[in-house]
A = this chain, B = another copy of it.
């Protein structure tokens, strides 16, 4: 596994923390909603890199945010990420059978359960952020909600997924592919870092380094994903590979070639880390995550 020594314990710890919290958050009710909760649990417990939750915690640590509160925000973002995976995997979308090494929710259950499990996780994310337990200052809670809604809606993740579907029919160039990925994955990664600043009540002007880091990291992360779709194995990534090329979809790899894509990703990660120069050793976890983003094989 291509995880540096410094990052391995952090990844393990966030994985365990997420599983524990989702287990407590989603007890299966004894009524007609049992299947819904089982579908939600299937999607959020066990598996996934948990990179977004780790980014939230790392960003919150920079500003000495209480760990339990940071983990609540991490759970909320993972709810949104997992809801999007459930919906994107549906037969009418990317039609995937495998996710995080397990059957997708509509395969393990059925499509109706998958749609509703996604919708439920979506609502739950906002419920968690707006709850007073997440932050004592209601202005922080309202700002978290506003920024997550923007990052995940039609001007963010959902809009990016729509562009991705349209991309199969149209010849996208590098600029359009970058814009698509900024919406589809970049916006939510950006929110992970922004959330740290919001939780720490850091004013606008203090957020520039984190925004730069997030932008470069998000793009590099997506290039690495495109490389894994070409070079990776289904056994390690836990999802189908080779799908983009089969669909004739424009990706960073199809546009740049493998070598230039790899160089570009490495350059972006150097740039991402440069943005953190004003922070000391406290940003080491963010630096390690950046290196991991392009070194991973899953």
**Contacts A32-B180, A120-B154: A146 and B162 contacting too (C-beta < 8 A)?**
no
What distance in Å separates the Cβ of A42 from its nearest Cβ neighbour in chain B? 14
Residue pair A111, B127 in contact (C-beta under 8 Å): no
Which of B33, B92, B142 makes the CB contact (< 8 A) with A163? B33
Interface of A is mostly: helix
Q: Does A138 lie at the interface of the complex (its beta carbon under 8 Å from any beta carbon of B)?
A: yes
Contacts of A180 in B (CB 8 A): 32
Interface residues of A in 82-124 (CB under 8 A from B): 83-84, 87, 90, 92-93, 110-113, 115-116, 118-120, 122-124
Closest to A90 in B: B115
How many copies the complex holds: the figure is 2
For residue A170, CB closer than 8 A to chain B, the reply is: yes
Give the one of A33, A35, A137, A176 with max B CB within 10 A: A33
A33-B126 in contact (CB<8A): no
The 6 A-B pairs at the shortest CB distance, nearest first, are namely A123-B153, A92-B111, A32-B163, A32-B166, A127-B149, A130-B146
Q: Footprint of B on A, CB under 8 Å?
A: 31-33, 35-37, 40, 83-84, 87, 90, 92-93, 110-113, 115-116, 118-120, 122-124, 126-127, 129-132, 137-139, 141-143, 145-146, 148-150, 152-154, 156, 158-159, 161-163, 165-167, 170, 176, 179-180
